Amino acid sequence: MDIPSLTIDRVRQALLSRQFSASELAAAALRFAEAENAKTNAYLHFCPERAMAAARRVDERIARGEDPGALGGVPVAVKDVIVTKGVKTTCGSRLLADYIPPYDATAVIRIEEAGGVILGKTNCDEFAMGSSNENSAFGPVRNPVAPDRVPGGSSGGSAAVVAQGTAVVSLGSDTGGSIRQPASFCGVVGVTPTYGRVSRYGLTAFASSLDHIGPLARSVKDAATVLAVIGGRDPRDSTSAEAPVPDYSAHLTGDVKGLKLGLPVEYLRHLTSETGDLISRGVDQLKALGCEVREISLPATEYAIACYYIIATAEASSNLARYDGVRYTFRSATGDTLADMYRNTRGEGFGAECKRRIMLGTYVLSAGYYSAYYLKAQKVRTLIARDFANAFQEVDAIVAPVSPFPAFKLGEKVDDPLAMYLSDIFTITGSLAGIPCMSVPCGKTAEGLPVGMQVLTKHFDETTMFRLADAFENVQKKQ
């Protein structure tokens, strides 16, 4: 059983042909993941009992002659900001180091209903704030491709396990790029669906108007299969959409001839030469497949970072107010008064990045500054969304870089939060607009570092995004 080479289809074939059972696969996958984890620190904890119970249910289905489910027996990892009943969910924070949720996120329930086997929870930046996974209270994750480098963030663990082969697919969360950027850095596929496509019920809130759950996988097809499983309306999340969820994999025809693609001129200015070269080569390959490529303009891009770091911090300052030492486990041992207890709990529990964001967010929401910052940022957000709406009148999809540079060295940017924020420039715009966007591998630099290409489409048109990314992936695999 070569676990790192498994795909959803391969697992299915093996189970149906009785090559191995779901229980055998789960036991082997857990052993392998536990042994390999020391190399990356990508998993924070495993849930063997839950995994074995899920695998047994799949074996019982097969024994009864039933279908094992779209994810039957597939080893899955879940980012530790997504709650799992009875299984620790820390959000990468000291504040939740011992938190055991009493309920499951909707995406988790859907994964298990489809036969998925959750092996464990993955490391991430504290409360999903970061671009390198170095803001985790439980140590950084090493990039499996280059262990002296970051895996990206905040879903660094979820990207690393898929790249390392210790899970077939994983769930991450994306607020401003946290699925696409680590996918790009680790050389895997990462998908941020349309806002509202996947229920956020059970996703620990960072910035609610921007938070998404999405899949990471080693192929576009596997990512598409997972999205079809977790997507769709959920009565427990009023922002989840009624829109029907298509069978995405059925649309991966390889035919992208005549598709009109836009290349945003504003994005190409910021690129380092090697990433830029790989993206241009990718664009040429898409042209060779029969796509029509034209330059487009997204003029509000220059305001995107400022806009995002106002809106995201404002929402975060409100969402993180609940960690007060009264609920959710961690409480400071010192302090004579209630106010001291709050202050000390938050002072000791939150890491530096969360504190920075709570302060920034509180500032931009304060009475005197609300209209100068928060209100203005909301208006800019509308302009950014309008840029995309205008572009999609002309083109079917947009192709762009994911990050200005490939994976950087551990420690390289930790002391410069602004440089870290600037690296989110290409992913933040799609998040602010709420459109579907994904990263698909686009080759490697001379040093062997993966680079991802971003594909963006209009709201709820994940089908075109997957079709284009799949055709592109086929070309990449032939190289």
Nearer to ligand GLN, 112 or 424 (CB): 424
Nearer to ligand GLN, 185 or 460 (CB): 185
The DSSP secondary structure of 335-383, one letter per residue, reads -SSHHHHHHHHHHHHS-HHHHHHHHHHHHHHSTTTTIIIIIHHHHHHHH
Nearer to ligand GLN, 122 or 285 (CB): 122
Is there binding between residue 158 and ligand GLN (CB under 6 A)? no
From the list 7-15, 56-64, 84-92, 173-181, the region that binds ligand GLN by CB under 6 A is 173-181
Contacts of ligand GLN in 194-213 (CB under 6 A):
206
Is there binding between residue 129 and ligand GLN (CB under 6 A)? yes
Q: What is the C-alpha to C-alpha distance for residues 263 and 122, in angstroms, rounded to an integer?
A: 34
Nearer to ligand GLN, 177 or 351 (CB): 177
Is there binding between residue 133 and ligand GLN (CB under 6 A)? no
| Alpha carbon of residue 11 to chain centroid | 23
What type of residue is 407? A
Three-state secondary-structure class, residue 87: strand
Is there binding between residue 266 and ligand GLN (CB under 6 A)? no
**Cβ 349 vs Cβ 320: under 8 Å:** no
Contacts of ligand GLN in 13-52 (CB under 6 A):
none
Is there binding between residue 240 and ligand GLN (CB under 6 A)? no
Return the DSSP state at 275.
H
Known catalytic residue at 154:
yes
Q: What is the C-alpha to C-alpha distance for residues 53 and 49, in angstroms, rounded to an integer?
A: 6
Closest contact distance (angstroms) between CB of 101 and ligand GLN is: 19
Is there binding between residue 182 and ligand GLN (CB under 6 A)? no
Q: In the set 89, 106, 123, 131, which binds ligand GLN (CB under 6 A)?
A: 131
User: Rounded to the nearest 10 degrees, how much is the dihedral formed by the CA atoms of 76, 81, 86, 87?
Assistant: 60
Q: Catalytic pick from 23, 154, 240, 439?
A: 154
Q: Catalytic pick from 21, 23, 79, 458?
A: 79
Closest contact distance (angstroms) between CB of 24 and ligand GLN is: 36
Report the residue number whose CB is nearest to ligand GLN: 178
Q: How far apart are the first and last CA of the chain?
A: 26
Nearer to ligand GLN, 402 or 471 (CB): 402
Q: What is the C-alpha to C-alpha distance for residues 159 and 231, in angstroms, rounded to an integer?
A: 20
Is there binding between residue 312 and ligand GLN (CB under 6 A)? yes
Closest contact distance (angstroms) between CB of 89 and ligand GLN is: 16
Closest contact distance (angstroms) between CB of 270 and ligand GLN is: 16
**Cβ 192 vs Cβ 301: under 8 Å:** no
Q: In the set 154, 184, 285, 403, which binds ligand GLN (CB under 6 A)?
A: 154
Closest contact distance (angstroms) between CB of 312 and ligand GLN is: 6
Q: What is the C-alpha to C-alpha distance for residues 155 and 185, in angstroms, rounded to an integer?
A: 11
Is there binding between residue 264 and ligand GLN (CB under 6 A)? no
Per-residue tokens: 343: 């202050």
User: Rounded to the nearest 10 degrees, how much is the dihedral formed by the CA atoms of 69, 70, 72, 74?
Assistant: -170
The pairing of beta strand 75-79 with beta strand 169-174: parallel
Phi, psi angle pair for 155, to nearest 5°: -85, 45
- Sign of the Cα torsion 237, 238, 240, 245 reads positive
Is there binding between residue 360 and ligand GLN (CB under 6 A)? no
**Cβ 121 vs Cβ 172: under 8 Å:** no
Q: Catalytic pick from 178, 184, 317, 403?
A: 178
Is there binding between residue 159 and ligand GLN (CB under 6 A)? no
Q: In the set 72, 115, 120, 176, which binds ligand GLN (CB under 6 A)?
A: 176
From the list 66-74, 174-182, 325-333, 461-469, the region that binds ligand GLN by CB under 6 A is 174-182
Q: What is the C-alpha to C-alpha distance for residues 250 and 132, in angstroms, rounded to an integer?
A: 35
Is there binding between residue 128 and ligand GLN (CB under 6 A)? yes
Q: In the set 424, 461, 470, 473, which binds ligand GLN (CB under 6 A)?
A: 424
User: Rounded to the nearest 10 degrees, how much is the dihedral formed by the CA atoms of 327, 332, 336, 338?
Assistant: -30
The pairing of beta strand 260-264 with beta strand 397-401: parallel
Nearer to ligand GLN, 178 or 345 (CB): 178
Closest contact distance (angstroms) between CB of 471 and ligand GLN is: 27
Q: In the set 36, 174, 222, 473, which binds ligand GLN (CB under 6 A)?
A: 174
Contacts of ligand GLN in 80-99 (CB under 6 A):
none
Q: Is 114 exposed, middle or buried (0-12, 13-18, 19+ CB in 10 A)?
A: buried
Is there binding between residue 345 and ligand GLN (CB under 6 A)? no
Binding site residues, ligand GLN, CB under 6 A = 128-131, 154, 174-178, 206, 312, 424
**Which residues are known catalytic residues?**
79, 154, 178
